[in-house]
Amino acid sequence: SPFLDMAHRLISSANTSSARFAFIFTVSLSCTYLFYSILFCRSTIMTNQGYDGKRCPPSGSAAAGKKLLGKPEICASLEVRSALLETAAQKAPRDPVKAAVPTDNKYRNMSVAQKYGNKKLPNALIVGVKKGGTRAVLEFIRIHPDVRALGTEPHFFDRNYDRGLDWYRSLMPRTLDSQITLEKTPSYFVTREAPRRISSMSHETKLIVVVRNPVTRAISDYTQTLSKKPEIPTFEELAFKNRSLGIVDTSWNAIRIGMYILHLENWLQYFRPSQMHFVSGERLITDPAGEMGRVQDFLGLKRIITDKHFYFNRTKGFPCLKKPESSSQPRCLGKSKGRTHVQIDQEVIEQLQEFYRPFNIKFFEIVGHDFKWD
Ligand SMILES: *[C@@H]1O[C@H](CO)[C@@H](O)[C@H](O)[C@H]1NC(C)=O
Ligand SMILES: *[C@@H]1O[C@H](CO)[C@@H](O)[C@H](O)[C@H]1NC(C)=O
Ligand SMILES: *[C@@H]1O[C@H](CO)[C@@H](O)[C@H](O)[C@H]1NC(C)=O
């Protein structure tokens, strides 16, 4: 250091008070220089060379900011750093697959299931219906600690049956003995072979069907198709063979799916009515906790999912979860859920209501519940 050289020269040359002053002055200057050198070094380390070759996280939250102020050696402290990372992980929207930061008891228990549990064939299935609200029921029920659900639709009993039960089992999440394994594939309900195939897997399988006014269901179904294929004919053209005569085209899937009683008769050849539970798609929106209470009862689960898990999003017109399984952030269903339907002529709606009425009445009789779709 040039300052130290200079100081050395001063000491050896003179002994006067001015020289002494110069000496002290120089030494203090040197110290200042050294001090800033060290600081500069550290800040270089801080910005370029954090752990894992990453930069130090910026103070993303007030808590992190306080920690930064209180502990200048933030980057050197693994403990604080991991705390910061955890805060950042909680803030960022998380990929459900990568959400591995244990945040609460429930998550820790799930890790236990993933580590020590076994893959089992499902005890319960959400079998339908398309556009009834099956995704909502699945996302709501899986916050229960005794439920482990497959997030995707395996389509085993309709499209992939040839792959065999071992393949099917391999898709399932690991569960503890006390936990229920669940999957949902809405097309099962209208698949002719599904009831027989499911009962040959197990006679005791519990079946959940989310039903909704078949007219709104059909419109919702059409809206979804239209968003993917804008060139398709209008709803009216597809729904009727001859509209002036009021002849409905029952070969159109969007119409056929809503004739619930016809499909149900097929299921009742293989399952007892007590093995099937029907969720009202309408009440799932107005009273999610009530509907989920009955689902939990049906599955033999303690009522853990209650009012406090939901809030209503007025913009979306849909209930949202305050704290879903995989993150600490509130979550609503995807953009496509609860989307605005295409406008359908009121007269057409009334014609279809008329068409469905006898099917609905029969369905209510068999199920023992009036869903009030008039
Ligand atoms: C997690 O497991 C512990 C015991 O293993 C239990 O006491 C606790 O209630 C469980 N937590 C949840 C949320 O299930
Ligand atoms: C519908 O029925 C009416 C009366 O029978 C007939 O005149 C008309 O051509 C039919 N429309 C179509 C599209 O078949
Ligand atoms: C409500 O839904 C809208 C539209 O999907 C969304 O932008 C908004 O963030 C949601 N608000 C809350 C509080 O969930």
**Beta strand 310-313 with 318-321: parallel, antiparallel or unpaired?**
antiparallel
**Beta strand 240-242 with 118-119: parallel, antiparallel or unpaired?**
unpaired
Kindly report, residue by residue over 226-258, the tens digit of the pLDDT: 999 999 999 999 999 999 999 999 999 999 999
**Under DSSP, is residue 246 helix (H, G, I), strand (E, B) or coil?**
coil
Cβ-proximal residues to 266 (8 Å cutoff; 6+ apart), any chain? 192, 195
Q: Ligand 1 centre and the CA of 176: distance in Å?
A: 12
Residue type, 277: H
Kindly report, residue by residue over 108-146, the tens digit of the pLDDT: 655 676 777 899 999 999 999 999 999 999 999 999 999
Mark 319-333 as b/e (b = at least 16 C-beta within 10 Å). bbbeebbbbbeeebb
Domains of the chain, with CATH numbers? 2-91 (no CATH), 108-367 (3.40.50.300)
**Beta strand 276-280 with 206-211: parallel, antiparallel or unpaired?**
parallel
The dihedral of CA 362, 297, 280, 271: what is its sign?
A: negative
* Whole-number average pLDDT of the chain: 80
**Under DSSP, is residue 119 helix (H, G, I), strand (E, B) or coil?**
strand
Please tell me the distance from the alpha carbon of residue 75 to that of residue 141, in angstroms, as a whole number: 41
Residue 131 in marked binding region: yes
Average confidence (pLDDT) over 45-67: 37
Only one residue has tokens 């990372």, namely 85
Please tell me the distance from the alpha carbon of residue 174 to that of residue 161, in angstroms, as a whole number: 21
Confidence (pLDDT) at 314:
86
Contacts 24+ apart (CB under 8 A), 227-232: 227/336, 227/339
Please tell me the distance from the alpha carbon of residue 139 to that of residue 265, in angstroms, as a whole number: 28
Q: pTM for this structure?
A: 0.69
Residue 368 in marked binding region: no
Q: Which residues line ligand 2 (CB under 6 A)?
A: 242, 244-245
- Ligand nearest, relative to CA of residue 320: 3
Residue owning the nearest CA to atom 12 of ligand 1: 106
Closest ligand 2 atom number to CA of residue 243: 1
Q: Ligand 3 centre and the CA of 318: distance in Å?
A: 10
Closest ligand 3 atom number to CA of residue 332: 14
**CB count in 10 Å sphere of residue 230:** 7
Task: Check residues 245 and 6 and name the one with the higher pLDDT.
Answer: 245
Residues paired with 184 in a beta bridge: 126
